[in-house]
């Protein structure tokens, strides 16, 4: 296949025809075409659906026409699992050129693309085509949260992945994001037996905490914190960006079925309780332990085995937490004895310090604090409560306007210090 960079359409055989707004000199001349001009160039090769798509466009920055094999859903564009069937160098919404797949999950695919309007590389998450109104509602929630967190400077101040564009294409919601080099999962894998330097582990931890404190203040739960969803922005400074809000939700509007990745699921989620931002702090503890040890903390054989594995390391949850659990009977009998499908798990028989293989008591205590069975006892909840108490004191004790301003400035300074030193205080 031969690609055009001079503004002219070129073809090689019958398999592909392309046009790009990018000139051979890069940014020297980037000029779009109108849909009518594309129709004049490629009209005989276009399907009725493509002609309708073009009619709704205002500008075309990149076009590629392929004789593609037909899929099984969505007029042949989707596979059995309703994922969009991708071809290298095809276009997405007449602007983005598909280069390669860089990620895949139950909610869609992540693709590296070239943006022919801005001449930059980007990552595009293409969600699966929704099969029900319920699934579409969840997808719209992801889009809403992704946009909700895109305040000016939110990437620098709170380590939120930068969203550059959102569009709908051939039945799929697509999120365009900044392209970053690697995730913490790849950092762990590349480190191998050498393990990561503990100073860098702390740096990554602070970076994730920035995001968690930010979304906590917005009453948003990420619900899938894990090494794969923490991307490295700068390998030297350890700056990170957190991505993938596919399972995220607002605390006041929890979905019926909360997703997430098994190895990082908190006990209250398994037991059927309503969720708070504490599930993210649990996942942070799992992630930091993995950064330090090079392996997943809770390796379980199945969903049914996951809670017993957590209990094997951390001991039994409080009695009230077991007795009041909506999904209690999935894990405990009427006497409160734990079911152990497959491998027998004895509560507390494999304590945390042994799993972590660490002689640093502060590090073990930090992980332990994140993994407390009671969500309200995890650091994020304590930090939020401390902030509320400080605000209440200010409201009650400041009667003069100058004093109010002074107290608010002091409060901000105290909270900044509290945020910056949370890791040091616990670890």
pTM of the model: 0.84
Domains and CATH numbers, the chain: 10-178 (3.30.200.20), 182-383 (1.10.510.10)
> Could you give the CA distance from residue 192 to residue 26 in angstroms, rounded to a whole number?
39
Name residues whose C-beta falls within 8 Å of residue 339's C-beta, 6 or more positions apart in sequence: 304, 308, 330, 331, 332, 333
Report how far Cα 329 is from the mean position of its chain's Cα atoms.
Answer: 31
- Among 139, 368, 101, smallest CA distance to 259 is for 139
pLDDT band at 294 (very low <50, low <70, confident <90, very high): very high
> Could you give the CA distance from residue 309 to residue 304 in angstroms, rounded to a whole number?
9
Lowest mean pLDDT among 13-17, 102-106, 185-189, 210-214: 13-17
User: What does the H/E/C string look like for 269-298?
Assistant: HHCCCCCCCHHHHHHHHHHHHHHHHCCCCC
Contact 235, 266 (CB under 8 A): no
Average pLDDT over residues 279-292: 96
> Could you give the CA distance from residue 204 to residue 241 in angstroms, rounded to a whole number?
10
Average pLDDT over residues 20-43: 81
Contact 251, 219 (CB under 8 A): yes
Q: Which residues does the annotation mark as catalytic?
A: 224
> Could you give the CA distance from residue 271 to residue 347 in angstroms, rounded to a whole number?
17
> Could you give the CA distance from residue 145 to residue 245 in angstroms, rounded to a whole number?
7
pLDDT of 28 reads: 57
* pLDDT, averaged across the chain: 84
pLDDT tens, position by position, 221-268: 999 999 999 999 999 999 999 999 999 999 988 877 777 899 999 999
Name residues whose C-beta falls within 8 Å of residue 325's C-beta, 6 or more positions apart in sequence: 271, 272, 273, 331, 332
pLDDT tens, position by position, 111-134: 999 999 999 999 999 999 999 999
Tokens of residue 75, six digits: 């007029």
pLDDT of 24 reads: 52
């Amino acid at each position: 296949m031969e690609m055009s960079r001079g503004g002219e359409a070129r073809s090689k055989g019958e398999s592909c025809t392309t046009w790009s707004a990018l000139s051979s000199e890069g940014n020297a001349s980037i000029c779009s075409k109108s849909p009518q001009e594309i129709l004049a160039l490629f009209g005989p090769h276009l399907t009725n659906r493509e002609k309708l798509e073009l009619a709704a466009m205002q500008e075309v920055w990149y076009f590629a026409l392929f004789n593609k094999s037909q899929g099984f859903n969505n007029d042949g564009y989707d596979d059995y699992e309703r994922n969009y069937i991708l071809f290298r160098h095809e276009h997405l919404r007449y602007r983005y050129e598909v280069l390669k797949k860089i990620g895949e999950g139950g909610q869609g695919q992540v693709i590296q693309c070239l943006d022919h309007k801005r001449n930059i590389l980007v990552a595009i998450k293409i969600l699966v085509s929704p099969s029900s109104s319920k699934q579409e509602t969840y997808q719209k929630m992801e889009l809403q949260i992704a946009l909700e967190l895109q305040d000016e400077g939110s990437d620098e101040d709170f380590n939120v992945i930068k969203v550059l564009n959102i569009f709908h294409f051939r039945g799929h919601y697509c999120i365009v994001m900044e392209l970053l080099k690697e995730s913490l999962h790849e950092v762990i894998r590349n480190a191998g037996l050498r393990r990561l330097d503990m100073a860098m582990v702390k740096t990554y931890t602070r970076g994730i905490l920035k995001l968690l404190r930010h979304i906590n203040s917005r009453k948003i739960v990420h619900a899938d914190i894990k090494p794969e969803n923490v991307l490295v922005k700068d390998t030297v400074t350890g700056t990170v960006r957190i991505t993938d809000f596919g399972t995220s939700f607002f605390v006041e509007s929890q979905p019926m079925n909360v997703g997430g990745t098994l190895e990082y699921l908190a006990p209250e989620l398994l037991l059927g309780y309503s969720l708070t931002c504490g599930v993210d702090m649990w996942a942070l503890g799992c992630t930091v332990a993995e950064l330090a040890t090079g392996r997943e903390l809770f390796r379980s054989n199945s969903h049914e085995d996951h809670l017993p594995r957590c209990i094997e390391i951390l001991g039994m949850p409080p009695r009230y937490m077991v007795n009041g659990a909506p999904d209690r009977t999935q894990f405990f009998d009427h006497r409160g004895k734990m079911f152990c499908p497959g491998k027998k798990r004895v509560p507390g028989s494999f304590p945390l310090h042994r799993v972590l293989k660490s002689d640093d008591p502060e590090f073990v205590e930090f992980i332990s604090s994140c993994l407390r069975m009671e969500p309200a006892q995890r650091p994020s909840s304590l930090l939020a409560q401390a902030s509320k108490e400080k605000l209440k004191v200010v409201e009650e004790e400041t009667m003069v306007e100058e004093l109010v301003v002074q107290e608010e400035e002091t409060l901000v300074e105290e909270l900044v210090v509290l945020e910056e030193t949370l890791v040091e205080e616990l670890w």
